[in-house]
Chains A and B, each alone.
Chain A
Amino acid sequence: DIVLTQSPATLSLSPGERATLSCRASQSVSSYLAWYQQKPGQAPRLLIYDVSSRASGIPARFSGSGSGTDFTLTISSLEAEDFAVYYCQQRSNWPPTFGPGTKVDIK
């Protein structure tokens, strides 16, 4: 199985700051990578798919980049509702796998 590693485990930032989250794959996943946001007590929500395509209703402050094994989720200016856990997920190789998550909390 492809192993996804996310860093940092926790990111402490203030509202208005830029957040940069990293996801690294144990082997190439081409462009088949997604990002999800999960808030406490809620299910994950799809933010980005195929590295950089925003899902329906996702604000433009969320963007994704990368290819192969190294990927980045950027939140250009954090809003109060963005403090959450973020997971990356690959669908390049079966089975689909998820990263362990990065928690973005308020500094």
Chain B
Amino acid sequence: QVQLVESGGGVVQPGGSLRLSCAASGFTFTTYGMHWVRQTPGKGLEWVAIISYDGSHKYYSDSVRGRFTISRDTSKNTLYLQMNSLRTEDTALYYCTKDPRVGRPSGNYATYYFDYWGQGTLVTVSA
């Protein structure tokens, strides 16, 4: 069965950095786009970033563009989120999620729905 296991969360000061990881199993990792989605009590669920099945396309929400970088390592079946210049408003539970669409070279590589979710990793940005 599909499993997504996040790690790397923790407490960091404003301006600091953190790298989140998501170990994927139970499906062909190289075939699907992957997303990061975060959740806070105040702002609810917020989409953060996507990487296409082959890593050729990456897109970010306006709130993190230029500070966060999404990547994937197919040899390790692992998704990453490098978070730099962290702000207090980045405090959230970060979920790794899978897109249901099989990626193809012709494009149209993602639905932007989220059919499997990890359990989340908590990031706290505080002085």
Residues of chain A at the chain B interface (Cβ within 8 Å): 34, 36, 42-46, 49, 55-56, 87, 89, 91, 94-101
8 Å CB contact of B45 from A55, A94, A98 = A98
Which residues of B (71-111) have their CB < 8 Å from a CB of A?
Answer: 95, 100, 111
Question: Using a Cβ cutoff of 8 Å, how many contacts connect chains A and B?
Answer: 46
- Chain B residues within 8 Å of A96, by CB: 47, 112
Residues of chain B at the chain A interface (Cβ within 8 Å): 44-47, 59, 61-62, 95, 100, 111-120
Question: Quick check: B111 and A55 within 8 Å, CB to CB?
Answer: no
By beta carbon, the residue of chain B nearest A98 is B45
A91-B112, A91-B113 given as contacts; is B47 within 8 A of A43 (CB)? Answer: no
> How many whole Å from A52's CB to the nearest CB in chain B?
14
Q: In the complex, given contacts A43-B118, A49-B115, A99-B44, what are 12 additional A-B residue pairs having Cβ atoms less than 8 angstroms apart?
A: A34-B113, A36-B114, A42-B119, A43-B120, A44-B117, A46-B115, A49-B100, A55-B115, A56-B115, A89-B114, A94-B112, A96-B47
